[in-house]
Chain A
Amino acid sequence: MHRTQRLVVLAIVAGTSLVAACKKKPDVAPAPDAGPGTPPAPTCDRACQDSIARARADSVDRANRERERLEAEARARASASARAAIEAKVFFDYDQSDLSASSRATLDAKLPVLRANPGMRLRIAGHADDRGSDEYNLALGQRRAAAVKRYLTDQGVDAGRLDVISYGEERPAMEGENEEAWRQNRRAEFEIVAGGDNIVVPK
């Protein structure tokens, strides 16, 4: 049909409907497409139709984007929390390399992330507070990092994914000559050296 013919047909149909509506009594069941309260079918030109289509598409897009955004946020949160679990420090008692219950819990939280990301490699850095001998503390830091590595490999993590290094008391996390600074500095830190760009979140 040509455009003009179609418009004519539409007009005729509309006119017939109007006439019919006027003639019929209210108790007569209304035509399904023209019941009481139904506004007259609007005329909508090409531009109108297009804008409706656009609006519809826009709203779908918006909904999709919002959904994607929320999903991305959730993924980022999960990924950040997985990264945080990996990077969470463990702390030690004075001149000790034993792992406390809370240190073991901190390490246990890394295991699912390590299993879900087999390409991830870590560098475990052992540190000491500044009360001991500077040179001895390098050995102590190494022993702490090695104790952490041993715990993780005992839980099934491949030893080749874990490097250890000691910084002794050379890189304090907190400056100061007090209990809190010493406690913060007797630690092992975890640096992701490979496989940290797209962390797969464990199920």
Chain B
Amino acid sequence: MAMLAKNRWGWLMVVAVVWLVGGWGRAAAQDTTFKEGVRIGLVYSPGTKPGVLIMPVGGDMADSIHTILSRDFEYGDRINVVALDPSAVAEATTAARVGTGPVPNYPLYAKLGVQVLVQANVTAVGLHVSVHNVVKKQIERVRDYPLLGVPLSPEWRLALHNAADDLEFFVTGTRGISSTRILYESGGRIWQVDADGANAIAVTTTGTAMSPAWHPKATHMAYMQFGSAGTQIVIKEIGGPTRILSSTPGGLNTTPVFSPDGYTMIYAHAAESGADLFAVNAFGSEPARRVTVGRGSDNTQPTFSPDGRRIAFTSSRSGHPEVYISDADGTNADILTTFNFGDQSYRGSPDWSPDGRLIAFQTQIAGRFQIATISLRDRSIKQYTSEGVNEDPSWAPDSRHLVFTSDRGGTRQLWILDTDSGRPPRQLTRSAIRRGARLGAWSPPLRPH
């Protein structure tokens, strides 16, 4: 083989010769925008991330499916996507499915740094996927995923992302984050966008809204909207009607968040003095009960621990905003982010990671907000941004990626960073609306329905 290793194309031609399986159907209007971050198998360093090669897909929308699966694995940061130029792969012959055609040349793929081969073909009902373990030289898993709706529609994409996330779980042990959406504010409306940046659509059509939040089952969302006599919390069923939370009428009602069991809502309310957190049955009509006793200070931006027993929030009770932590009923409150006396900079916007280990927050450094995390175990702080102003972090379900607002590109947009790899953040939104996009809220895993 060494004589063939002179250049990349030599390798690819070998692949083309030995791999004769896999249809390479083509269809119009396909999504082939995936170009960035592509790595060839030769750069794979063993022991970090499994190298996965997605073979050319057979059937309708093949290029789009290949592109979306590759991008989903790439954005997950847990898989080393081995890319081969499609032109270097031979056209499909008659055999469209693994198992009916020749056996792949496993030793060659192993040398290319490939540990897993994913072979996908579109069938009448969806996507038929075989996963090869290159090391064991065998197929480990065969599964059919339904593809719903019109190709490239939001439902169709969600179904495909769901397949990608399930495959990622099978390969790495951690479910991917591509079948998720992010709520955010732009131009006074609440928007949602797929985690890969597709399908940005306005969810609210009237009024001025802020501070969106997901229900843990993704059946509802909540947000704040401006009214004539103050601001209100709105609870909206996804794709359904809205209801105004009326437990504290008038004044400021803002930063709603659902408890992990989905039944309780905590939000900030202020009338004639400072803002305090209040808790209420999100779907009932009981009066709200006070959670914090701020004595005129501002207490806002609550976030729940994943077990629902604790909350973190922003409070100015020390004189300027810091992140505090307390029991969910407001007792045993303690400052979480330590500060130096006389320090006028501040910290806020906490978001508790789904695995419970970290709280992400924004901290002022040299007058500019940056994204950081603090460990609940030893209170060690890690800073993740330094370019521009970076605010309002929200965790992905994998407790590894954060969506945040940044002006690093000139306007405020949402970006996503990986807390593990240190890879440069990728831009999620490209809102042309004045003042851009902000206040991202990452959904729980979404299932196609």
Contact = CB atoms under 8 A, between A and B. Distances in A.
A150 B392 CA distance: 32
Interface in B219-258: 226, 229-231, 251-252, 254-255
Given A136-B301, A139-B298, A142-B251, 5 more contacts: A133-B392, A136-B298, A136-B316, A164-B271, A167-B226
12 contacts: A133-B362, A134-B391, A135-B210, A135-B348, A135-B439, A138-B231, A139-B298, A143-B273, A143-B275, A143-B298, A166-B231, A166-B252
B320 interface: yes
Counting from the closest, the 7 A-B pairs by CB-CB distance are: A139-B298, A139-B275, A142-B252, A142-B270, A133-B348, A139-B300, A146-B272
Given A142-B252, A143-B298, A164-B251, A133 B270 contact: no
B254 A139 contact: yes
Contacts of B271: 142, 146, 164
B121 interface: no
A135 B300 contact: yes
A25 to B, nearest CB: 94
A192 B208 CA distance: 22
B346 A165 contact: no
**Range class of the B interface residue count:** 35 or more
B349 A135 contact: yes
Give the size category of A's interface with B: 20 to 34
B352 interface: no
B314 interface: yes
Contacts of A166: 230-231, 252, 270
B210 A95 contact: no
Q: Which of A94, A149, A163 has the most CB of B within 10 A?
A: A163
Contacts of A131: 367
A163 B349 CA distance: 28
Contacts of A138: 210, 231, 252, 254, 300
**Chain B, interface SS category:** strand
B93 interface: no
A166 B268 CA distance: 13
A133 B251 contact: no
B23 interface: no
B255 to A, nearest CB: 5
B230 A135 contact: no
A164 B273 CA distance: 11
B273 A134 contact: no
Interface in A152-203: 163-167, 170
A132 interface: yes
A84 B211 CA distance: 35
B270 A134 contact: no
A140 interface: yes
Contacts of A132: 321, 346, 348
A163 B229 contact: yes
Given A136-B300, A139-B252, A146 B273 contact: yes
B369 interface: yes
B230 A165 contact: yes
B161 interface: no
B321 A136 contact: yes
Contacts of B231: 138, 166
Contacts of B439: 134-135
A170 B298 CA distance: 18
A150 B252 contact: no
B438 interface: yes
A95 B320 contact: yes
B253 to A, nearest CB: 10
Interface in B25-81: none
